[in-house]
Amino acid sequence: MRSTLLAAAAALSSGFYLPGVSPKEYKDGDRVEVKVNKLSSSVTQLPYNYYTMPFCKPNVDIVNAVENLGEVLHGSVIQNSPYDLQMGKPDFKVLCKKDLAKNEARMIAQRIKEDYRVHLIMDNLPAATRMISELPDGKVVTMYDRGYRLGFMGAKEFLGTKPGVPYLNNHLRFIIKYHKDEAFEGARIVGFEVEAFSVRHTYKGTWGKDAQLTSVPLSPDLPPQRADEPGEYIFTYDVTWESSEIRWASRWDLYLYMGDDQIHWFSILNSLAIVLLLSGIVAMIMMRTLVGHTLLGLGLGLGLGLGLGLGLGLGLGLGLSGRGDCCLGCPAAPRAAPTLTLTLTPAAPRAAGQRKARRSRR
C-alpha cells in the first residue's frame, strides 16, 4: 500500500509545474515568447495597459498571459506581443509601421514627459536596462532598472535633439543571456536586458512590397524619432544572444541592484488611507459590540434589581398584612394593649307554667 502511494505521489510531482519556479530548457531554434506588461511611472503612479498606446499589435488575438498568483496580486497586465524570437538566433526585424494621428502622437508625447517606462517579460523574467554610474570616489557601479524608457526629452547634451521636445524610443535591442550545462539538455535563459534607441527610420520603395530600410545598420549619427508630430513611425528590434555562467537559481540577483531611488508618495498615501479606513471599521465594530454588551448588562442588572425589590416588597407586604398592617412605608400607629371585658347578664325568670309541670312530675 505504501509503495503504491509513493508511486502515485512521484507521478503527480513529475507532472506538476509552477510557472517561474521550475526552469525551462530551450533547444536551438525554439520559439522564445516575449510578453508585454503595463506601463508605469514614478511621477504619476498611474499604470496604463500596453495596448492603450498606439504600439504594434500581434496578428492573432490579444490574450492575457498571467501565469501565477504573484503577478495577479502585483496588478500586472501581461499579454502576448508581436515579437518573434528563436533560441540562439541573432536577428534584426521590422515590427511594424504605424501612421499616427495628431491625438495619438500627442498621447505618446505626454507619456514621455511623464517619464513612463515599458515593461516586458521573457521566461517569467522582467526586462532590465543596464545603467553604469560613477560614484564620488571614482568607482564605477553597474546598476539595473526594470523595463525601458518610453522616450526622452531633448537636451543640449543629446546630439541632434531640441531641448524640450519629446523623442520616442522606437528601436529595441534584446540582449538575452543563456546558460548551458551537462546536467540538462538545451539552454536556460538567465538574463533579459533591453537597450532602447530613438531612430528616425527611412526607407526606399513601397511599404509592404519592396521597401528597404536605409537607416540600417544603426549608427549614432542617425536623427532621433520625434514623438510630437503625426506621421509615420517605424518600430524595429534586434536580438543578441550571450552565453553566461550565471545559473538559473541566481538569475534574479541583478534585480537586487535596482536604481529606483524615488519615493513613491502616492503608494505611501494609498497605504495610509487603507490602514486608517480599516482601523476605523474595526474601531466602529468594537464600539458597537462594547456598547451592546454594556446596555445588555445594564438591562440585566436593572431587571434583576427590580425583581429583587418587588420580591422583597411583596414579602414585607404580606408579612405586615398578617399583622394587620397593609401599608408599607406608613408610620406605624401605636397599638393599644389588649383588654378582657366580662359582662354579667342576669338570668330571666322562668315561666310559672314550667314550675308547675316540674312539681306535678315529682
Task: Kindly report, residue by residue over 204-221, the tens digit of the pLDDT.
Answer: 988 888 888 998 888 888
| pLDDT single digits (tens) 228-259 | 899 999 999 999 999 999 998 889 888 776 65
The whole-number pLDDT of residue 16 equals 39
Say yes or no to pLDDT of 302 above 50.
yes
pLDDT over 50 (residue 9): no
Residue 225 has pLDDT above 60, yes or no: yes
Q: What is the pLDDT of residue 50?
A: 94
Chain-centre distance for alpha carbon 60: 30
- pLDDT band for position 327 (50/70/90)? very low
Closest CA to 241 of 321, 74, 122: 122
Q: Which residues contact 173 (CB under 8 A, 6 or more apart)?
A: 194, 195, 196, 197, 237, 238, 239, 240
Q: Tell me the three cell numbers of residue 103.
A: 491625438
**Residue 115 corresponds to which cell in the numbers above?**
517619464
pLDDT confidence of residue 323: 46
SS3 content of the chain, % helix, strand, coil (to 5): 30, 25, 45
In whole angstroms, give the CA distance from residue 296 to residue 285.
16
User: Residue 274 has which C-alpha cell?
Assistant: 487603507
Determine if the pTM surpasses 0.85: no
**Residue-wise pLDDT tens digits, 135-162:** 778 788 778 888 999 999 999 888 889 9
- What's the pLDDT band for 197 if we cut at 50, 70, 90? very high
pLDDT above 50: residue 344: no
